[in-house]
Each structure stands twice: as C-alpha cells, then as structure tokens.
Copies of this chain bind each other. A is one copy, B any other.
Amino acid sequence: MGGMAFSPDATLADAGEFGLIKAFTAIFEQGEHVLLGPGDDAAVLRIRNGHVVVSTDLMVEGRHFRRDWATAEDVGHRAAAQNLSDINAMGGTAHSLTIGLGAPADLPAAWALDFARGFAAECASVGASVVGGDLTRADQVVIAVTAIGACTQAPVLRSGASAGEVLALAGRQGWAAGGLAVLGRGFRSPRVLVEAYRRPEPPYAAGRIAAEAGATAMIDISDGLLAEAAHLAQESDVAIDVRRTAFDLAEPLVAVGAALGIDPLTFVLGGGDDHALLATFPDKADVPEGWQVIGSVAEGAGITVDGDAYEGATGWTHF
C-alpha cells in the first residue's frame, strides 16, 4: 500500500493539503497515454483521432453513500464504477479520470487515502488512470468525478431504438437494491447482496460488445431499470415493454424479499446502483453473449410491464 506519511489517526487538517496530494499522487499509477499525471495545472494526455466520450457525476455523503454502510475503499470503488459505467454505456472504454474531493477538515486522512485506493483499483480494472484531482474543505464529503474514454466505433446513444426491436440487459440487476434494503433495515446479510451494493461489478466489457453487435440504443442503469428504460423510450420516441418472466430471480433476492415482505422483482425493476446496462438490438438474433432479452420496443410512448402500467417505484429522482 505504500508508506503512509501520516499517523493512523491524522485528520485531513493534520495531514495538510500538500501532504495529502503527494500521498494521493503516489496511489494513482499512470498509463502510457498519460504524458503528465497529477501535480501541474493540468494533466497531459496523448489521444488518438476519434470519438472522445466524457461524463461527470457527483456523489454526496448521506445521499449517495454513508460512511457507516461501506468502507472508504468501497466508496472509492463505487464512485469510479458509476463513471466508468457511463463510458461503458456509450460503447466506449474509459482511459482517464479526474477526481475532486471536498471533505470536512476532521475527516480521517486514512479514509481519504483508502477511498483513493479503492477508486484507483476500480479504474485499474479497466486500464484507466486517475490523471488529476482537487482537494478542498467542505461541510460534507462530496466526490466529483469526470471520466474520459474512447470509442472504437460510433458511440451508442439513448435515442436510436426503433419499434420492433428487442430490449436486452447485461449484468446483474437488483442485487445492490436488495443490499441497500437490507442495510436500511439495520441488517448486514445476505452478505452477497450487501457486498453488491458496496462494491458493484458492472459488466464493463458488455458496452463495447453491444456496440460491435449493432446495439441501436444503450443506457447505464444507475437510477432504476424502469426509470432508465423510460429514458430510452423518451429519447427514442418509442414505447418499451418489460417482461416479468424474463428475470431469473437469484436466490438471495428471493430470500430478502421473503424476509422483508417485498416482492423481489421490486429490486430488479426499480433498483439502480448495480450499473447494469440496457440496450436495444434490431433482432433477438443480434443480441450478443452476456446479454439477455427482457422486453420489446413498439410504437408509442412510455414503459409498461407485461403490457400494463407499473405501480411500483421505477427509480429515484434527485430533487
């Protein structure tokens, strides 16, 4: 993990801005495309001709994460995953991320460094580098991430779906929502669901594979499957129907549903945070490995489940 320059109980104020930046910089290894990493006015990248995709997200303590529900390293993984997934959903691969961290002066420096380690590890899992950052005092922990990536073919937008196509899903879906429900009731098990919430495993290869297979529209499920399907429907000016029977409910989801008295499909249809992908393909035969058909696209507007309006929560809104 490299030598920590601070005592184990040092706060950010104790460690000081420049000590912290030095410690962060040591954590962030740079890929070959990075000519200059953190430490100057800006990072310098060498980028080839082509489509560059850029996405940015904020995560706020108490709203997007709780320090008592996940370790600093988990939060780092989640913050990176959220942004890497946005690039994934364009059919691209992220190569460079920046990170802004606002935090109270009494935040343990160890929390910030563990967070950075988790963030860097998640980025490394797709070969991306943390090329720059900023650190400042704030009343609550705020994490601002920007991801930059490349597409080897035309990016897949939300707006390309047409009537007659199929809707498909990649990645596990509903697990993080199940884990969140468990944590919300004060429990810590089933561990596999809690871990799915703390450290999602987005299907990072699936975006590029879908783009190469001819996906017509794609979106990252961060706020809920049906909410994101509704975005696809709106942007593409089509109607989307999702089939309940398309989902094989994993045993832990069934168990938690039974224990909490919640239909486990609620987690699947309304849950976000797994960073699964939704995409449309012209035909069932086009759907590549790692993707499963879960619905269909028709003329019209809005989303339905098995042809009917859905009464449950489809996701969450930010205000």
Residues of A within 8 A of B (CB): 12-13, 15-18, 20, 35-36, 39-60, 62-64, 85-87, 89-90, 92, 96, 98-102, 105, 131-140, 142, 144, 146-149, 151, 155, 157-159, 218-220, 235, 317-319
Is B89 within 8 A of A42, CB to CB? Answer: yes
Residues of B within 8 A of A36 (CB): 155, 157
Is B102 within 8 A of A58, CB to CB? Answer: yes
Is A47 within 8 A of B52, CB to CB? Answer: yes
Residues of B within 8 A of A147 (CB): 42
Is B319 within 8 A of A148, CB to CB? Answer: no
CA–CA, A105 to B18, complex, Å?
34
Residues of B within 8 A of A140 (CB): 138-140
CA–CA, A101 to B20, complex, Å?
25
Is B54 within 8 A of A96, CB to CB? Answer: yes
Our pick among B90, B96, B101 for the contact of A44 (Cβ within 8 Å) is B90
Closest 8 CB pairs of A and B: A144-B144, A42-B55, A56-B98, A146-B146, A41-B89, A42-B53, A58-B100, A45-B52
- Least distance between A170 CB and chain B CB atoms (Å): 14
Residues of B within 8 A of A136 (CB): 58-60, 63-64, 318
